[in-house]
Amino acid sequence: MAEFSFVFSFLSDSENEFWIGLTLNRTKQMFEWLDGWPMSFQNFDAANRANVPLHNHRKNAEHLQRNSRKDLCYSMSPKSGKWHSKECHEKLPFVCELPASEHEKDLLNSQEKTNSQICQIPAWIDIGTQFCYFVERIDKQTFQGALNVCQSVNGSLASIHDELEQTLIHQQLLDSHDIWIGLQRNDTLGYEHFQWVDGSSVNFKSWAPGEPSDPAEKCVEMYGSSGHWNDNNCFHYKGYVCKISKPAVK
């Protein structure tokens, strides 16, 4: 899931679908990754999968086989992340994967050690970083009220620092729920200046088109529908997302 989220977030601005390394093997009547990796994750669109459970992927392959006389290869939508079957001779952009070098493996092992601690508070979400996250949709708060709740457990309203973190947080939302994130306007530095309430640097932005739009709106929400950000009145009551560091690895 983390690998899918990374690829999806990295290519989400593309206008075209792109090839992934999945094929329908006509001889074996099974889906296969070209690198031989077991098929432990799926994200087919409804027309290709019809919500068939993963352990029945041979049965679904047989169904697709009967409805297609040609080999099938698979592309991924940059908008939805869903996988679509296509004739393999079509020309599309593609994404490659290379084995990690020894140095990269050392970095990954170090990161895995950093991320090995579990989130110790019930209902907090571990998305594979050094932080835990909690998304509250029901107990709506003003921006300050939400910040107080997060700080009461030694956390803060969430700061977001790259496309992957943005995507992983957005995936936890229901489409109809907009939530407070920890970004706030700092008028002392100018009405266009925003800062994270946890003091971290603002090195990533995901504003909705035309936003921020109103100097009187001091606080920032994430849209549940698109994940984009919008400045809003801090006294509105909304859900929120908290972020807390995992315990240090001993």
What pLDDT score does 13 carry?
A: 64
Provide CB contacts within 8 A for 131, sequence distance 6+.
243, 244, 245, 246
Model confidence, pTM: 0.56
Q: Are strands 72-76 and 83-87 parallel, antiparallel or unpaired?
A: antiparallel
| pLDDT number for residue 57 | 46
Highest CATH level, class, for 127-245:
alpha beta
pLDDT at 219: 97
| Cα–Cα distance, 192 to 194 (Å, whole number) | 7
* Structural contact between residues 71 and 65, judged by C-beta atoms closer than 8 angstroms: no
Q: What is the pLDDT of residue 142?
A: 97
Are 213 and 124 spatial neighbours (Cβ–Cβ below 8 Å)? Answer: no
Q: How far is CA 40 from the centre of its chain?
A: 19
Can you tell me which residue has the tokens 């970083």?
Answer: 129
**Residue among 122, 121, 120, 100 at smallest CA distance from 111:** 100
Describe the strand order of the beta sheet including 83-87 as a list of residue ranges: 30-33, 18-25, 72-76, 83-87
Q: Which residues of the chain does CATH 3.10.100.10 include?
A: 2-87, 127-245
Q: Thinking of the domain 2-87, which architecture would CATH place it in?
A: Roll (3.10)
Write out residues in the chain with pLDDT < 70, as ranges.
1-6, 8-13, 26, 28-29, 40, 46-71, 100-122, 174-176, 248-250
